[in-house]
Structure 1
């Protein structure tokens, strides 16, 4: 019960902080109505085309997705439920809970 209240209070404070500073808002993916794919290694969400054009922000050195449609098909999936926008991986309790502290800010499954 105490942990839940602490998490609710943290979430409420985060919301208040986020709504007071416009620079802290994250834009939706450019083609937000296009089907998104999740990297199987780090769960980053992007469109198929974005993975081909830019690769994975976190795993490109390992997965080599840029300019490789076959690798994008093999290393990403459309099978996920939900998403979270991660803005401050080092200080976010969500990133700690999801073990995402060492990744770039962005959308995750």
Structure 2
């Protein structure tokens, strides 16, 4: 299982458009082949910063999503709203406590 964390930073005036689009697309992203989990977080100290947190069965599943028309649609809309370069990490879970 691969975990993908993406940091997104938006101009304040663009946040409503981002949230509206995420609401429209989140189920399609979650239903992408290999996606097992999707959450959106907002930074408590800086409300312009968001994080997506997703679980992928394999790195290939993530890469197939990143090459998909769905990703193109999501990313081409979202990237116009940024006020800073996005950052992304692919990580492996080492420990999980219930």
Per the normalisation by structure 1, the TM-score is 0.25
Tell me which of the two structures has the higher relative contact order, counting C-alpha pairs closer than 8 angstroms and 6 or more residues apart: 2
Based on CA coordinates, which of the two structures has the bigger radius of gyration? 1
TM-score by length of 2: 0.27
